[in-house]
Chains A and B, each alone.
Chain A
Amino acid sequence: QVQLVQSGAEAKKPGASVKLSCKASGYTFTDYAIHWVRQAPGQSLEWMGWINAGLGNTRYSQNFQDRVTFTRDSSASTAYLELSGLRSEDTATYYCARAIVATIGTEFDYWGQGSLVTVSS
């Protein structure tokens, strides 16, 4: 069965960076895209961007373009999100989600369990 398993909770200080992982199983990793979505406490969902797990090309939301990097390790079926310059407003649960490789029509059929990132001095 398809599973996306994310890395554990992180506590960071303002200005630091965080790198999260999302390990996929149950399907051919390189046939799909991985999107990243975050959710601040009590808030809605915010799309951050996506990576083509096969080719490695990326698309970032303008809200994060200068601070976020998506990578993947195809041999490990794992996608990564690195967010730099952390501030308190980045405190959120970060989700990875699977979608087809496309620029449109990309609903998310499987989600990771989420990784809580807390930014505090």
Chain B
Amino acid sequence: EVVLTQSPGTLSLSPGERATLSCRASRTISSSYLAWYQQKPGQAPRLLVYAASSRAAGIPDRFTGSGSGTDFTLTISRLEPEDFGVYYCQQCGGSPLSFGGGTKVEVK
């Protein structure tokens, strides 16, 4: 099973600032099989990025995914008020699928 470790656990930032979220895998995974989701309180997760760097439909270009091997990053270039929430990475390269523990992006 691939274990995904996200850091930091919490990121306290102000609107307009840049957010950098990390996801580290316990073993190498193909970049084709790494996705990022955003979840707001009381809502289901929403797909942001798939295949490590491809934005899902309707996702603004301030969200950028990158990385390969065991280290992946989600960057939000300038935080908008609606971007605060919890972000999860997911590996979908084989069973069992797995998610990271999440990074909470909160208002500073």
Residues of A within 8 A of B (CB): 35, 37, 44-47, 59, 61-63, 95, 97, 99, 103-109, 111-114
Contacts and interface: CB of A to CB of B under 8 A. Distances in A.
Contact of B92 (A45, A107, A112): A107
Interface of B: 32-33, 35, 37, 43-47, 50-51, 56-57, 88, 90, 92-102
Given A95-B44, A109-B57, 12 more contacts: A44-B99, A44-B101, A47-B98, A103-B95, A104-B92, A105-B92, A105-B93, A107-B50, A107-B92, A108-B47, A111-B44, A113-B43
Contacts, number: 60
Q: Which of B88, B97, B99 has most chain A Cβ within 10 Å?
A: B97
Contact of B33 (A47, A61, A104): A104
Nearest to B49: A107
